[in-house]
Structure 1
Amino acid sequence: MRISVDIQKSYCCGGREFHLNAQFAVSGNRVVLFGPSGSGKTLTLRALAGLLRPDTGSIRVDGREFFDQEAGVFVPPRDRRIGYVFQDYALFPHLTVRQNVAFGLSPLWGRLSPEAANRVQEMLNLFGIANLADQRPARISGGQRQRVALARALANEPAALLLDEPFSALDIPLRQKVRAELAGILARLDIPLVMVTHDPADVAFFGGDVVRYGEGRVLDMHSAEVMRRSMVKVA
């Protein structure tokens, strides 16, 4: 997956200003945006998904122009074929697990088509949550909620999956288990991944291209192997 990002965005909140100035180009199927909280990683991810419109610049993914301020191009989120999992999962509390997974496939009026219903069941089975289909999010664990969010993001067969700090809400033993599960599922589906994280363990596990952030800008880019070696030296 080829991603080219060159964007700028400014915010002013509570008397404080934040300026995002992100430029990078990568071509692998595993991309990690790595750095401390508040460094601009999530803003970049949201811009990729179309949930945030930059002030200036451009975003190109696999030859498609998602955003170009000068040319007046802004592709809306629904047309980007991007799956997105929020840090807090953003599940609908009044819907069951099955209804949450089906949300992106549901027509405004009427029932799911047989094909869509089969796809929902396939996702429930793939993530091992079929037995939770009639439960609501408040009645399941954090790890289970994450699986529901992932299943929902993948139900539409997106061209890429974006994950915002996907393991930060899980305790350490569960993080290790869910990392392995997710890596196996992504390998089976052969889907590109862009992940935001501040955890070096995520970098070490998922590999690929690492784009390092600090204070609203891209500091540098490395392969995961280079990052692993540098972390070992620091340790």
Structure 2
Amino acid sequence: MTNWSAQFEFSRGDLELKVDLQGADRPLALIGANGAGKTTVLKILLGIETPSSGHFRCGEALLYSSEKSICVGPENRRRAYLPQGCGLFPHLDVLENVGFGLRAQKSLSVSEVNKLSLQALEELDVSHLKTRNPIQLSAGERQKVALARVLTMRPEMILLDEPVSALDIMARREVREILSEQLHELKIPAVLVTHDVRDVRELSADVALLDKGKISLQGCYQEISERRGDEKIHPFLKEFLGDFN
């Protein structure tokens, strides 16, 4: 598993971020109130937003450093991003959607792209949907297809923005199981934005709370959940943990 660390400052409008994060063998769940800047943090790690200062290192690769004037573009970072709403293209069928990122690289033939795309669909047990358009799919099926597109890229890090928030209970459970299996198999870092403690529990993720532009705490779920009875616990964290043990 690759160790990674990110320390940066970012300012835009009313949003002020001063973030210090690190991760290794477990996914990291980024939690916080709406508008706290969680999605912006993902976009900075992805490389489509640029901080004013700081660094981002993943393993031996230094992807951003204001001190050394390094800023690797998103196309060269090998980060995979699963946004809210899946981000599937309605005019492409499932197989074309899954292979979109590979085709953009222009380093593989059409047959190679299709082979890898079909393989990813088979891994998620949705290859029978390959000729359908996204509008013909259920929300759970669309999310699996979007995840298949992420997996075809063989990324070095996966960034997920509320990956199961739009799904029903059964689909959420199924997608979480798939995510857990794939992350364990690929052994790559993952950061996910979530408002659901079940994502943390079922993905065995660490937790980082973004509050007032800063990471106010970071640690494993077990340690953080033990603070439930602490009268000084952060109000958002108390609500997030709810009644789960």
**TM-score, normalization: structure 2?**
0.86
For residue 2 of structure 1, what is the aligned residue in structure 2? 3
Question: Quick one: percent identity of the two aligned structures?
Answer: 33
How many residue pairs get aligned? The number is 231
For residue 118 of structure 2, what is the aligned residue in structure 1? 121
How much has 1:56 moved relative to structure 2? Answer: 1.6
For residue 87 of structure 2, what is the aligned residue in structure 1? 90
Q: How does 1:156-167 map to 2 (within 5 A)?
A: 156-167=153-164
- Secondary structure in 2 aligned to 1:92? coil
- Contact 2:26 2:204 (8 Å CA) reproduced: no
For residue 43 of structure 1, what is the aligned residue in structure 2? 40
How much has 1:221 moved relative to structure 2? Answer: 0.9
- For residues 64-110 of structure 1, give each alpha carbon's deviation from its aligned partner in whole angstroms, at most 9, with x where no partner exists: 11111232111011111111100111111111110000001115879
Match status 1:205 vs 2:202: yes
* Equivalent of 2:221 in 221, 224, 229: 224
Please identify, of 88-97 and 173-182, the stretch whose mean Cα deviation from structure 2 is larger: 173-182
Cα distance, 1:231–1:181 mapped onto 2, change above 3 Å: farther
Cα distance, 1:52–1:126 mapped onto 2, change above 3 Å: same
For residue 103 of structure 2, what is the aligned residue in structure 1? 106
- Secondary structure in 2 aligned to 1:10? strand
Taking only aligned residues, the RMSD between alpha carbons, in angstroms, comes to: 2.1
Cα distance, 1:11–1:178 mapped onto 2, change above 3 Å: same
Cα distance, 1:79–1:108 mapped onto 2, change above 3 Å: closer
- Secondary structure in 1 aligned to 2:142? helix
- Contact 1:28 1:209 (8 Å CA) reproduced: no
For residue 181 of structure 2, what is the aligned residue in structure 1? 184
How much has 1:47 moved relative to structure 2? Answer: 0.8
- Contact 1:38 1:215 (8 Å CA) reproduced: no
- Contact 1:101 1:152 (8 Å CA) reproduced: yes
- For residues 170-209 of structure 1, give each alpha carbon's deviation from its aligned partner in whole angstroms, at most 9, with x where no partner exists: 1233212221122123223333322111211111221232
- Alignment partners' CA distance in 2, 1:24 and 1:184: 24
- Contact 1:49 1:77 (8 Å CA) reproduced: yes
- Alignment partners' CA distance in 1, 2:207 and 2:106: 43
- Alignment partners' CA distance in 2, 1:216 and 1:121: 41
- Contact 1:204 1:228 (8 Å CA) reproduced: no
Cα distance, 1:88–1:232 mapped onto 2, change above 3 Å: farther
For residue 53 of structure 1, what is the aligned residue in structure 2? 50
- Alignment partners' CA distance in 1, 2:159 and 2:149: 12
Q: In structure 1, list runs of 5 or more residues that go unmatched.
A: none
Cα distance, 1:69–1:108 mapped onto 2, change above 3 Å: closer
For residue 140 of structure 1, what is the aligned residue in structure 2? 137
- Contact 1:105 1:112 (8 Å CA) reproduced: no
Amino acid at match of 1:8: E
- Contact 1:86 1:163 (8 Å CA) reproduced: yes
